[in-house]
Amino acid sequence: MLRLTAKATQFGRGTFTSWLIESAGTVPLQRRKDSVNGETDNSEVMKKLLEALDIGDAVCLFPEGMSRYHPTIAPLKTGVARIVSDALSRNRDNPNFEVSVQTCSITYMHRQHFRSDVLVTFHEPMKFSAKLLAPVDFSNIRELTARLHKQISSGTLDAPSWRLIRDAKLAARMYAPLGTEMTLGDYVRIVRTFLEALKMAESRIDQEPSGSGDEGSNLGEEALAEDKKIVQLGADLKAYQDKLSRYGLKDDRIRRPLHRRTMAYRALVRLTWSIVLITLSIPGLLLWMPIFITTVIAVREFKRTGPVWDTYDEIAQYKLTYGFISGLCVYFGTVALTFPVAPLTVVLVPLAMWMSLRWFEDATAAFRACTALIRLLWVGPTELRNMQETRGELYKRVMDLAVHTLGLPEAPEKHFGETGGKEKGRVRGRWDRSAKYFSVRRRRKRDWNETLRLYDKVDYPEDY
């Protein structure tokens, strides 16, 4: 059995979400920042969690204490390590008793945007027998918390600034260009590989004292020169991405130049296709409208119940809960209104809603492509050639870093196309690509940066 935990402010609200949390047997944890005097008492809660571990149940904890809208992981609370210590102490006479701690990393592509992707990574469990025992050794607790932090950060993008993540994503898109048949997990690992290189190079240079070229410096001249080269690459990637953002373009448009006549023709085709798909999706979108409206109103009202840092934590719950309830109401209401042909609408209504969402996604992607081509025409041939030359030089430096320094495969398109199984986003041939269009899990994305928006999301405000 799984014993869930949640902040105490989610209990006793009289809402459906609150009832659902309480009905699942979730244990309320008090937080100092929610208390008037800053004092909390979680002794009874900890007792219940320890009793669950005693009988072999699982406990779900959130060591960060909140969902993150920042580029770096927050310092972890020591509660997990203290519970491990107390559980082992309570069962010190049982030689077979052990506690396993399995961490989970969550990487959102664009958590604030509709139909964005998320990677959930479960790590190898850490097993403990009788090492953290009472009286509590706080050095062990701090050490375990640090290990948890390191393991969690190893599965997600963790950086001191959005700028580094932005540069790493551009480097990953250059290394494995649009069309590479790779999974979301592969994409995140490549971005993280570049991110760690950029982060470590900046960190080492910042720590290096003046006169670093001397024989007694912390870094050798060769290593220091390599770090400076990586930092300069990051700065040049930023300048190139700034220019792309200014023109509203994606790197792939610069990578594969087109004749201006071809651009105009393709823009017209994309616009026509977008109009056709929007027309096809209108009946299904009408069924979606009550769901969208209900969810927007529910989230808007919920945001008014508290400060941003607290309410933003639970928006996903409200979207899921109220979206699911309103979806059921739309479904059963439509079936009831069409009762004479109910056997048909039972099947056709969810099918129409599903396909309309697919068509709307494709219509949005087609319109994005149309506007991108129009922007390419607007840029002008001279500026476009300059950007292509800049991109070519950057590509050589990115590949040199990826292959010779970071040890990534030399031919990413071939490598990722041949490895792996049937993970999300993986396609095997033309038939598989066509069949996945109708799959419930279908995300036939050629670019994992894609969201259901008319623009490419690459910029992150530093204070977000």
pLDDT tens track for 331-345: 999 999 998 898 999
Asked whether residue 192 is assigned to any structural domain, the reply reads no
More confident residue, 218 or 14: 14
Asked whether residue 360 is assigned to any structural domain, the reply reads yes
Amino acid at 8: A
- Nearest CA to 147 out of 194, 68, 80 is that of 80
Tell me, what's the pLDDT at 388?
94
Residues 91, 97 contacting (CB under 8 angstroms): yes
pLDDT higher than threshold 90 for residue 19: no
pLDDT per residue as tens digits for the range 189-239: 999 999 999 999 999 888 876 555 555 455 578 888 899 999 999 999 999
What is the arithmetic mean of pLDDT over 294-301? 88
CA distance 268 to 274: 10
Tell me, what's the pLDDT at 272?
97
Q: For the chain, give the mean pLDDT.
A: 85
pLDDT higher than threshold 80 for residue 137: no
Out of 122-126, 215-219, 251-255, pick the least confident: 215-219
Tell me, what's the pLDDT at 429?
63
Q: Locate all alpha helices (DSSP H) within 74-154, ordered by sequence.
A: 79-90, 138-153
Asked whether residue 449 is assigned to any structural domain, the reply reads no
pLDDT per residue as tens digits for the range 143-172: 999 999 999 999 999 999 999 999 999 999
Quote the domain boundaries for residue 411. 251-438
What is the arithmetic mean of pLDDT over 390-407? 96
Q: Which two tokens stand for residue 266?
A: 């393709």
Burial class (CB in 10 A: 0-12, 13-18, 19+), 407: exposed
Asked whether residue 343 is assigned to any structural domain, the reply reads yes
Number of domains in the chain: 1
Asked whether residue 322 is assigned to any structural domain, the reply reads yes
More confident residue, 305 or 57: 57
- Nearest CA to 277 out of 212, 380, 367 is that of 367
Amino acid at 225: A
pLDDT higher than threshold 80 for residue 119: yes
pLDDT higher than threshold 90 for residue 188: yes
Tell me, what's the pLDDT at 231?
95
Tell me, what's the pLDDT at 463?
43
pLDDT higher than threshold 60 for residue 462: no
CA distance 447 to 116: 11
Helix or strand holding residue 303 (H, E) = helix 260-303
Asked whether residue 259 is assigned to any structural domain, the reply reads yes
Length of the chain: 464
Tell me, what's the pLDDT at 464?
41
pLDDT higher than threshold 90 for residue 36: no
Tell me, what's the pLDDT at 385?
92
Tell me, what's the pLDDT at 441?
57
Asked whether residue 450 is assigned to any structural domain, the reply reads no
More confident residue, 398 or 67: 398
Asked whether residue 408 is assigned to any structural domain, the reply reads yes
Amino acid at 331: Y
More confident residue, 140 or 312: 140
Tell me, what's the pLDDT at 313?
65
What is the arithmetic mean of pLDDT over 384-407? 95
